[in-house]
Amino acid sequence: MTGPRFTPLVASLPATVPFVGPEAQERARGRPFRARIGANESVFGPSPKAVKAMEAEAAEIWKYGDSTSHDLRHALADHHGVPVEAVLVGEGIDGLLGYTVRLLVGQGDAVVTSDGAYPTFNYHVAGFGGMLHKVPYRDDREDPAALLAKAAEVDAKIVYFSNPDNPMGTWHDAGVVSDMIARVPDGTLLVLDEAYVEFAPEGVAPPLDVTNPNVLRMRTFSKAYGMAGARVGYVIGHPEVVAMFERIRNHFGMNRAAQAGALAALQDDVWLADVRAQVAQSRTRIAQIAASNRLKALPSATNFVAVDCGRDGAFARKVLQALVARDVFVRMPFVAPEDRCIRISCGTPADMEVLAQELPRALEDAKGGQ
């Protein structure tokens, strides 16, 4: 019997999973984590108004979601002061990145990113046969000048750049980003991932300009709005570029309860302000815990903190493994020299107490294995 005839590209790809989720780790370990502070979820949860809106939609879940996300798109357009034609809602930034790559990248087309940046983007590029070109971080931040230089060198279809950055939590101010946008090579699209922008200080996000066809800005409800499980993201860009997504996107990919929840969340500024305040407090607490263990916390404009373990990636990995063994879920950067750090998501006071208790023990475990 002849089995399925996979495409040569798919047959050649490794079975890659960008991230092993905490649930999979819990199943493998046979017990839950005490502190789930590794996936940059908002443990502070969504707005109660969003929860209420989603509950109200439960009885209507027999219906498909609105294929145009009409109400949410219009609300987002009003919120950002852009035309509704410049906004598209999709299945989280991950889904929108997949659509963007599908629109632009064919077999062998060049794509530029930073070495160690968000791996799900790389996963999409590989899946469509693109050729990834990577540049290193500089001083624990993505390097806009190097990204643009590499894009010009290889005639890149896409340059991926996140600001604030994941996995380091670092950022560039709006002037640097605006200059980067202005210098994108002709024929290259800058994908500006702003998943964490709601946590950033003033002056990080440049003004939205939907007249420029060479940049797409991506935002999400997964982080500050506390709706990671709902999978709601959106892209803002030139209307003619945004319109191209209509040719290839899954028009009924959005969950109607998630659409309603995102709309309610967007309208609850009080809840968002409270989450920001709790995240700021948690960042401070993580830095204090790090300092008490003679470690350095990097400045962060996100809902996580990269903590420098003071040695190399092998040592940081032992620290991470020791924390996981002690029921504390954290992650770490993949590429040196950033992999000398572990990445700790902001959490509740109870989460922080677990971290404060277990980090010194994990460090002792890691040192004992040297």
Taking the C-alpha atoms of residue 168 and residue 61, their distance in angstroms, rounded to an integer, is 39
CA 302 to centroid of chain Cα atoms? 10
Q: What is the pLDDT of residue 17?
A: 80
CA atoms within 13 A on the CB side of 104: 27
Angle CA(214)–CA(217)–CA(223) in degrees, nearest 5?
Answer: 160
pLDDT for 19: 85
Dist CA 131 CA 96 (whole Å): 19
Q: What distance in Å separates the CA atoms of residue 217 and residue 240, rounded to the nearest whole number?
A: 14
**3-state DSSP percent of the chain in helix, strand and coil, to 5:** 45, 15, 40
Report residue 264 CA to chain centroid gap.
22
User: How far is it, in rounded angstroms, from Cα 188 to Cα 152?
Assistant: 9
Instruction: Tell me the pLDDT tens digit for each residue of 75-88.
Output: 999 999 999 999 99
Which residues of the chain fall short of a pLDDT of 50?
Answer: 370
Sheet with strand 215-220: strands edge to edge: 87-90, 233-237, 215-220, 189-193, 158-162, 110-114, 131-135
Q: What type of residue sits at position 158?
A: I
Q: What is the chain's alpha carbon radius of gyration, rounded to the nearest angstrom?
A: 21
Give SS3 for 18: coil
Q: Kindly give, in sequence order, each residue whose CB lies less than 8 Å from that of residue 158, ignoring residues fewer than 6 positions away.
A: 100, 101, 104, 105, 111, 112, 125, 188, 189, 190, 191
Domains of the chain: 19-45+270-368 (3.90.1150.10), 49-267 (3.40.640.10)
**For position 197, what pLDDT does the model report?**
98
Q: Which two structure tokens, joined as six digits, stand for 175? A: 């002037």
- Three-state DSSP string of 206-257: CCCCCCCCCEEEEEECCCCCCCHHHCCEEEEECHHHHHHHHHCCCCCCCCHH
